[in-house]
Amino acid sequence: MKFEPVQDQPIPPSPHGKVILVGAGPGDPDLLTIKALNAIRSADVIVFDRLVSPEIMALVPRGTRRIDVGKAPKCHRVPQDEINRLLLSEARQGHCVVRLKGGDPLIFGRGSEEAADLRAAAIEVSYVPGITSAQGAACSSGVPLTHRGLATGVRYVTGHRARDAHLDLDWASLANVDTTLVVYMGAMNVAEIASRLIAHGMPGPLPVMAIASATTPREARLISSLQNIAIDLENKPLDGPVLFVIGHVVSLHPDHAASLANMQPRPTADA
């Protein structure tokens, strides 16, 4: 079923403001939940970030106010504290505010941080889950997150820290070849991530998939290995936020067999 852009006017503001933290999913509007679509259609204000696809934003009714608070690496246009204050201000004016987030609001979406501030101010808050970026990427690419004989579990980690702080992950724990490792927002630090994992025991030839804009017409993928992913991504950059899937499951992607001939370590950017 295809959702068409809505042309109707938004519902008038309610007497008591509230905030709905809505997961917009990985980008394809057909992957929105019905509850998410209903929230978008009933909002007085949509506060969205750069991970929300244009196709999703096309579903916002005309006349609904839109506030872009998108962030990019090393470019925090609207700091998180300011976003929290914005949500609070809009809700106090009696508006139904939809905070629209890519993927799911409770998986690296800072939804719980925003909810805590709002609840502390006695503002009504609710959540609408979304299909995660990792799930969307897996189904779109055909690379499973778990597979019998290849991966007994999956772990999600973020590849950056707030305010670009030091990346202090538990590398020894993450370097487990029996577990698929999914790294969100890791493009800027992929060289460090790969070298740390190899240093803690992950094999260099372990396959890696980098994917951007999964489930949308702009989807782009790069199949590589842990030892080569940084230089390969530098030579063939992907546009937009990049998700990395690291593990034996990537060997199930059709392009992996074609890439085996190129699995020898390549010179680093510093060489």
Told to judge if 71 belongs to the known catalytic residues of this protein, a careful annotator would answer yes
Q: Does one domain contain both 78 and 163?
A: no
CATH code of 229's domain: 3.30.950.10
Q: Does one domain contain both 91 and 155?
A: no
Q: Does one domain contain both 250 and 142?
A: yes
| pLDDT (mean) for 146-159 | 95
Strand, coil or helix: 61: coil
Whether 238 is covered by a domain: the verdict is yes
* Catalytic residue from among 28, 49, 104, 117: 49
CATH code of 103's domain: 3.40.1010.10
Residue 57 clears pLDDT 90, i.e. is over it: yes
* Catalytic residue from among 71, 188, 255, 263: 71
Q: Does one domain contain both 45 and 142?
A: no
Task: Report the percent of the chain where pLDDT is more than 70.
Answer: 85
In this prediction, residue 179 carries a pLDDT of: 97
111 lies in which domain range? 18-128
In this prediction, residue 165 carries a pLDDT of: 61
Q: Does one domain contain both 257 and 194?
A: yes
Whether 143 is covered by a domain: the verdict is yes
Task: Report the percent of the chain where pLDDT is more than 90.
Answer: 77
Using the 3D structure, point to which of 105, 128, 151 is the last residue of a domain.
128
**Rounded Cα distance, 23 and 106, in Å:** 8
H or E segment to which residue 194 belongs: helix 190-199
In this prediction, residue 262 carries a pLDDT of: 52
Using the 3D structure, point to which of 128, 158, 190 is the last residue of a domain.
128
Q: Does one domain contain both 27 and 120?
A: yes
Burial 144-160 (b: 16+ CB within 10 A, else e): bbeeeebbeebebbebb
Residue 269 clears pLDDT 60, i.e. is over it: no
Q: Does one domain contain both 118 and 208?
A: no
Q: Does one domain contain both 207 and 92?
A: no
What are residue 126's phi and psi, to 5 degrees?
Answer: -145, 165
Task: Report which of residues 149 and 1 the model is more confident about.
Answer: 149
Whether 32 is covered by a domain: the verdict is yes
pLDDT digits (tens, 9 = 90+) for 168-185: 899 999 999 999 999 999
| pLDDT (mean) for 249-255 | 91
Question: What's the whole-model pTM score?
Answer: 0.85
Residue 3 clears pLDDT 60, i.e. is over it: no
pLDDT digits (tens, 9 = 90+) for 107-122: 998 899 999 999 999 9
Using the 3D structure, point to which of 93, 128, 163 is the last residue of a domain.
128
- 270 pLDDT band, cuts 50/70/90, is very low
| pLDDT (mean) for 242-261 | 83
Task: Report which of residues 16 and 32 the model is more confident about.
Answer: 32
**Rounded Cα distance, 80 and 69, in Å:** 9
* Catalytic residue from among 185, 202, 209, 232: 185
In this prediction, residue 63 carries a pLDDT of: 93
Q: Does one domain contain both 137 and 244?
A: yes
| pLDDT (mean) for 239-259 | 87
Q: Does one domain contain both 102 and 172?
A: no
Q: Does one domain contain both 28 and 140?
A: no
Q: Does one domain contain both 99 and 146?
A: no
| pLDDT (mean) for 86-115 | 95
Which parts of 96-169 fold into alpha helices (H)? 111-120, 133-141
Told to judge if 185 belongs to the known catalytic residues of this protein, a careful annotator would answer yes
Count of domains in the chain? 2
DSSP codes, 212-246: ESTTSTT-EEEEEETTTHHHHHHHSPPSS-EEEEE
Residue 73 clears pLDDT 90, i.e. is over it: no
- 162 pLDDT band, cuts 50/70/90, is low
In this prediction, residue 78 carries a pLDDT of: 84
